[in-house]
Chain A
Amino acid sequence: MMDVLPYLVAAWIFLVGCHGLATSRNLIHAVGCLAVCQAATYVLLLAVGYRDDATAPVLADITPGSRPVVDPVVQALALTDVVVGATVTALLLALVIQVAKRHHTLDPDELSELRG
């Protein structure tokens, strides 16, 4: 069970985020749920790259080849995703601010009509 548990945790976080997105009655809450979905990808990536008894893939302090290191490729993917995700979240929150100003509501169900 321990062999696949981290992957299942990632799947669970993703599904929880999706559920929140679909049932959300508040746009700020929805943006938060999207961030939860994204967090699932970090968990998955880091779980894929993990290696028992290995250290960080930074070879400044250890003799290269003396110890196994975890997978640097997935770490790099997670790293860039964090910063890019943060700015995209900022963009979405900016959209929410404008929606709140123009429509005076944060409930996505009340945003059905068009306004010029």
Chain B
Amino acid sequence: MSRRLRMWVLLLGLTGVAATLVTAALRLPAFGTATHPYGDRAVREALAHRTANAVAAVNFDQRAFDTLGEESILFAAVLGTVVLLRQARDERQVTPAPARVSAPVRRYALVLLPVTLVTGLYIVAHGQLTPGGGFQGGVVAATALHLLYIAVDYRALERIRPIGLFEVGDAAGEAAYLVTGAAALLAGSAYLANVLPHGTFNTLASGGTVPLLNAAIGMEVACAVVVLLARFLDQAVEIEEEGEEQ
């Protein structure tokens, strides 16, 4: 098919989709209206289970099974990336030369590293109370480690980041979610049901299984992001094609 013909087919398709979407949008409830039947029910359920953050209640209590699916996509995507980015037979590993880091950058990154790490863990731990949770906090915590790469160099990062351990952590996070779900079966309820005591509203120990699932996700996401970044950094810094000069 020539490029010109292809553009016409594309134009036809896009016009059709655009017409459908506009027709659908015109029939949707107006933007900002007060009728949110699912939202109201979700908030009521979150309050019934004493979870202050209704979004976390939806993710880890009401839709916990869906979140398991999403978490598995994340796990599979990381696994796929690890397989795709491994060192091929015609490639070799080179030791990267350390680069000089200017003093202000070094100071700034080293001061911020512990702060960022604690912030990440805080966001995971308070997922059932305030905005945040395992998904967001995990990313923040994983990013914190990489400040060492900015502040010192690649070898310093590698020393605090045994990649095998983080791969195990990724799998353990996924497993912890499954085990928490199965524990509900042992308690005589449905899979991933919120069987634990719900605790006092607006305290760290509220929400039943929500904080546990939050922590499992936090661990998985943090480890997954570390593994992903490690593989991409390896490609950029260490792995070279045979015969290629640095």
Contact = CB atoms under 8 A, between A and B. Distances in A.
Interface string B67-90: 100100110011011001100100
A11 to B, nearest CB: 4
A73 B31 contact: no
B18 A11 contact: yes
Interface stretch (B53-61, B107-115, B116-124, B143-151): B53-61
Given A4-B25, A58-B53, A19 B10 contact: yes
A108 B17 CA distance: 24
Nearest to B126: A60
A111 interface: no
A107 interface: no
A8 B22 contact: yes
Q: Residue among B34, B55, B74 with the most chain A CB within 10 A?
A: B55
B32 A11 contact: no
Contacts of A47: 31
Contact of B74 (A52, A59, A64, A83): A83
Nearest to B32: A52
Contact of A72 (B39, B139, B235): B39
B43 A23 contact: no
B221 interface: yes
A76 B74 contact: no
State the majority secondary structure of interface residues on A.
helix
B170 to A, nearest CB: 11
B46 A91 contact: no
Contacts of A74: 39
A95 B22 CA distance: 35
Interface string B19-60: 001100110101111101011001100110000111101110
Contacts of A52: 32-34
Contacts of B133: 79
Interface in B86-145: 88, 129-131, 133, 135-136, 139
B186 interface: no
A55 B81 CA distance: 39
B70 A4 contact: no
B158 interface: no
Q: Residue among A18, A48, A57 with the most chain B CB within 10 A?
A: A57
A101 interface: yes
